C-alpha cells in the first residue's frame, strides 16, 4: 500500500515532532535556558538531520509548506492539550526544581539536573546577587531559566517587578 506523498509527509512530521519533544524532556530543561556554542551547533545539526526524515525525498515548496504547517498545528495542539490536562503537562514538562533555600544549596537537586556549582553561581550573579549564600530562594524553572530571590527586600521588589512585566499572569478556571 502506497501512501499519498503529502499524507506521508504529515505522518513523518508528527513522528519527528513527538520524538523531539520527548528527547528534550529526557535530556532536561537546563539545556533550554541559554545556548552555548555546542548547543547552537547541536540545534543547527539536529534540524538538518530531521529535515529529510520529515519530508523524505520531497524537497518541493509544497512539501516544505506542508511540513511547516503540520509543525505549527502540532505545536498549537500540544500546548492546548497541556493547558487543559495537567497529566499531559506533567508528562511533557518537568517541575520547577529548588536549587537554593535560605542560602543553602540543595546538592541532591543539583546532581539530579546535572548543574554544577559554578553554573549556579553564574545564574545568581546574573541576578545581581554576589553569592548563593545571600539567596533566599533559587529555582530552576520549567523553561530552563533560574529564578533568584535574594534576602534583600529592595532587590526582592525589583526582581518581582521585572518578573511581572515580562510574564502575564494567567488564571485558569477550575
Considering the domain architecture, whether residues 38 and 17 belong to the same structural domain is answered as yes
Q: Give the total number of structural domains in the chain.
A: 2
Is 0.75 topped by the overall pTM?
Answer: no
Tell me, yes or no, whether 139 lies in a domain: yes
Tell me, yes or no, whether 74 lies in a domain: yes
DSSP 11-74: HHHHHHHHHHHHHHHHH-SHHHHS--HHHHHHHHHHHHHHHHHHHTT--SHHHHHHHHHHHHHH
| Residue-range definition of the domain harbouring residue 113 | 97-166
Considering the domain architecture, whether residues 75 and 116 belong to the same structural domain is answered as no
Contacts of 144 (CB under 8 A, 6+ apart): 29, 30, 31, 32, 33, 34
Confidence of residue 19 (pLDDT cuts 50, 70, 90): confident
pLDDT in tens, 33-76: 555 666 667 777 777 778 878 887 877 888 888 888 888 899 89
Cell 518581582: give the residue: 160
> Residue 4 and residue 25: Cα distance in Å, rounded?
32
99 three-class SS: strand
Amino acid at each position: 500500500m502506497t501512501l499519498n506523498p503529502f499524507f506521508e509527509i504529515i505522518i513523518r512530521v508528527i513522528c519527528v515532532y513527538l520524538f523531539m519533544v520527548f528527547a528534550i524532556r529526557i535530556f532536561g530543561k537546563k539545556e533550554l535556558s541559554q545556548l552555548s556554542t555546542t548547543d547552537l551547533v547541536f540545534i543547527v545539526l539536529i534540524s538538518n538531520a530531521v529535515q529529510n526524515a520529515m519530508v523524505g525525498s520531497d524537497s518541493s515548496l509544497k512539501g516544505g509548506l506542508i511540513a511547516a504547517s503540520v509543525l505549527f498545528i502540532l505545536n498549537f495542539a500540544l500546548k492546548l492539550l497541556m493547558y487543559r490536562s495537567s497529566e499531559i503537562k506533567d508528562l511533557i514538562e518537568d517541575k520547577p526544581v529548588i536549587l537554593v533555600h535560605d542560602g543553602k544549596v540543595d546538592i541532591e537537586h543539583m546532581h539530579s539536573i546535572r548543574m554544577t556549582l559554578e553554573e549556579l553561581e553564574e545564574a545568581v550573579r546574573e541576578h545581581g546577587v554576589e553569592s548563593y549564600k545571600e539567596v533566599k530562594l533559587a529555582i530552576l524553572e520549567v523553561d530552563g531559566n533560574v529564578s533568584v530571590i535574594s534576602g534583600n527586600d529592595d532587590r526582592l521588589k525589583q526582581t518581582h517587578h521585572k518578573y511581572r512585566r515580562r510574564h502575564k499572569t494567567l488564571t485558569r478556571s477550575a
